[in-house]
Copies of this chain bind each other. A is one copy, B any other.
Amino acid sequence: MSRKEPVPTARGLDQLVQALRVLPGVGPRSAQRMAYHLLQHDRPGAEQLAQALSGALASVRRCARCNNFAEEEVCALCRSPRRDASLLCVVETPGDLAMVEQTLSYSGMYFVLMGRLSPLDGIGPRDIGLDRLLERVADGVVQEVILATNFTNEGEATAHYIAEMLRSRGIKVSRIARGVPLGGELEYVDAGTISQALLDRRGI
Say whether, besides A24-B33, A95-B32, A10 and B59 are in contact (CB < 8 Å): yes
User: Known pairs A7-B101, A12-B55, A15-B55. 7 more at Cβ < 8 A?
Assistant: A5-B77, A7-B102, A9-B69, A12-B52, A19-B51, A25-B30, A40-B114
Question: Is A38 engaged at the interface, CB distance under 8 Å to the other chain?
Answer: yes
Which applies to chain A's interface (DSSP): helix, strand, loop or mixed? helix
Give the A interface residue count (CB, 8 A). Answer: 69
Nearest 5 A-B pairs (CB), nearest first?
A: A22-B45, A19-B52, A8-B77, A12-B59, A50-B53
Nearest opposing residue in chain B for A30, CB measure: B25
| Interface residues in A1-48 (C-beta closer than 8 Å to B) | 1, 3-5, 7-13, 15-16, 18-20, 22-25, 30, 32-40, 42-43, 45-48
Query: Could you tell me the distance in whole angstroms from the C-beta of A76 to the nearest C-beta in chain B?
Result: 5
The distance from the CB of A91 to the nearest CB of chain B, in whole angstroms, is 12
* 14 A-B residue pairings within 8 Å (CB atoms): A5-B76, A10-B56, A10-B75, A13-B56, A13-B60, A13-B69, A15-B56, A16-B53, A20-B52, A22-B42, A22-B46, A23-B23, A46-B56, A50-B54
